[in-house]
Each structure stands twice: as C-alpha cells, then as structure tokens.
Structure 1
Amino acid sequence: MSVPLILVADRHPDTRQQLCASLEDSGFRAIGAGSAPDIWNALDSTPVSALVLDADLRGADGMDLCRDVRERSQVPVILVSANCTEVDRVVGLELGADDYMAKPYSTRELVARLRAVMRRGRTERALGLRRQSEACFDGWAVNFARREVLGPDGRPIHLTAAEFSLLAVLIDHAQSVIARNRVMELAGVREAPSSDRSIDVLVSRLRRKLSRGGGTAPIITVRGVGYMLSAAIDRR
C-alpha cells in the first residue's frame, strides 16, 4: 500500500515546513501549498490523499476556499482555524470540510483525524463493492458505483464525501434505529467524545438536501438514541 500524501495549505512558510516534517515523522508523505493556485496545481498533478487547509489562507474569505476545493475535488479536507466557536465549526462543515480543528493543535491529534477521514474513503470503496449498484427510496435513487444521487425529479444532488457516507450507512440500516456513536463509527466521522456535534451537523446537512423540492427527508432523530432512515429501500 502506498504511503498517503498529505497536502498542507498554510500561508506561513515556517508553519508549512514544520507541519510537513511532523507528518513525515508520523509516516506520511507531505507537500506544502501557500496559496490557492498552489492547491489547484497539487490536486491536478498529484494523487493527494487528504488536505489540511488553513481557513486563513486567503484572508477574510479564506473559508470559501474550502467550498471551492469541495466543488472541484472529493479529497478529504480537514479545515484548521484560530477561531473555534460553534458557529465557525458549523460553517466549516457546511462548506464541505470533513473535519474541523482549532489552532493550536497537536500533531498527534491531526494524525488521528487524518487517518479517520482517509479510513472513511476506504470504507466507502469497500462497501461500494459489496452493495448492489443502486438503492431507491421515496423517489430518490442512489448509485453507489458512480456515487450519484438523483432526486424524485431526476435531477442530481451534490453530496460531500461525508454526506454520501452517512446516507449509505442509513440505507444499509433502513427502518432500524442506529445509535449515534455507531453512526459516527460507520460513517467514518472522526473519533470524538459523545458531546461532539459533528455528526449532528452532518445529519442536518443531509436532511436539508433530501428535503429540497418541498418534501420531507425520511431521516428521523430518536432523541437520546440515534437516527433512522424510515423509508423502505428498493435495491436493484
């Protein structure tokens, strides 16, 4: 198995170099990027396994860069920022980040989270081989091979890697309540204490996207327990 390549995007050269060196000491390969063009060049020319993206890379609108990356690539993204209010974390996740970390952070924690987001991708590929090619519910069609989701009107809906992984887990356990921590584990959400709200934000994002067109997403929250996809699944 090849050594994962981590793209470290930070506007401070010393920070980039130090983090790249620390990641290499932890068993990864790492390259740095100091600007948006550097990110695009790396993603277009190199098999990047994950991106560590500084929210301040492009100044006041730096977090929008996360959205731009997500629109062009499915590479796992860990967004890092000096701000770590709940609003900042929610905005980062809404923009498509797979995880969010506050500065300062330890290399050990970053390594753990990188492994978690990359493991999610490997899990999705393995599940995709085992699943039948398509699952339908309430007019929605999910094609696992193409990672494509079509709404009842036939239009495609864009899901981030984390959202697609969550939907796949809910489909696999349709009409059964899944404990919150178990959902986090199966969906590849990073290891976190039970008080972490990342999975709740992820469920909210998915529910909102499945509610487009005036319908109601069949994702039920069982308070104090977990979540359930209430629709019947037709596998093809």
Structure 2
Amino acid sequence: MDELDEADEVESLARKERKARKAAAANRSVTAINSDLRRERRDGWRIAEALTRYWRARFEFESAASMSSLADSPEGRKFYQERQQGPLDSVAKWRSALMAQLLTPAPDTGAITWKRATFEAGQHRFTDTKPERIERAIADDEAWLAAHPTKRTGNVEACAKRRAFKEAMRQRIKEVAATRDLPDEVIRPVLKLKHEEIGRFCQTHSVNIGWLLEGVGPIFKPWPTS
C-alpha cells in the first residue's frame, strides 16, 4: 500500500468515526443530553463554591489571628508581619466570591435553594451587586432547569398514578377488614395486590371487585340466598 492509499484509508476511517459519533449522539435520549449539560454547569459551580469557601475560611482565620491574646504567640507575630507587608481585605474578597457564586448558573435545585437562602441573608447589601440582578439569575436558573429535566416527566407522572391507585386499593382493603373484623394475618397477603389474592379475597368476603379497584358501586355483593 503506497502513501496515498494509506492516507485515503485513514481519511475513510476518520469519516466513519465521525459518522458513528453523530449517529450515537442522535440516538441519545434528551434526558441523557440534559444530564451532560447539568454536569457542565456543576463543574463551574464547584469552582465558584470553592472560592467562596476559601475566602470565608481566610476571613475567619484572620479574625482569629488578629485577637490581642495571640499577639505574643509565634503565629500571631507571623500574622502581623504579613499584614504589615500588605494587608488583605479578606472580607471584601469573600463577599465578592459570594456574589460571583450567586450569579454562577445553578446545576440543580439544591444550588437554587442555597442561592435563595444566601440572598435572603442580605450579604449583597454590602456589595455593588443589585438585588434585581440576583433575583433575575435565580429566575433564569429555575427556567433553565425546568427546560432541561433529567427524568422523563411522563414516566414520573405514570409512576405517581400507579402508586396512588395501589394505595387507594390497600386503604379499601383495610376498610373491608375493619367492617368484617378481619385480623391482620388475613388481609396481609391481599395487601400485596396480587391478582389471585384479590380474586380470592373478593370471593371469600363477597366484596364488589369494581368497588375494590375503582371505588365504584356498593362495597359488598349480596349474600347468596341459596
């Protein structure tokens, strides 16, 4: 194989690889893509959070080191020497980092909860950051997260409906048990909502299956007269 043929083969393989990547991306679900987008936001959020925590820790350290009772200690003398070389306004830098984090895109609802709590604490009043800007950033976060869900809404709603349906059935079974004075060991198997157990329960205790399933009609069927 000469160099031209080899180059053509390499280019062909590269085109196939690009095509395969595009096909894989096209087959990805929307929720998977949204998860990647949230992950990208999370990286930026962690950097902003780390800076805020650093300057907060620096501020607390300087506050402790500046106490007069530490002035004659080696740590205290070293601190004062550093302050004489160039004083650090760690409080201002902490508040600046805090404001930067408030304006950093939130990756999840937990970050939004933190933003609201921090905003309500009023630290922005000591900075040039306008409250309207922070409120707008929080509103943008909420809109972005709502537009980029990581779970299928339809599936979540369907699961919630199934849970509510099963819980309503179990409650109706307990109502029958209370009316018939049935012990717990009798209704425990039917509370698992297996078809066979439900059918056996309805037949044994003359329960109207329509009422048990949907809450429609009388609770009990008429007892056989013969």
For the criterion TM > 0.5, the same-fold answer is no
Structure (1/2) with the larger helix percentage:
2
TM-score, scaled relative to structure 2: 0.17
TM-score, scaled relative to structure 1: 0.17
Structure (1/2) with the larger strand percentage:
1
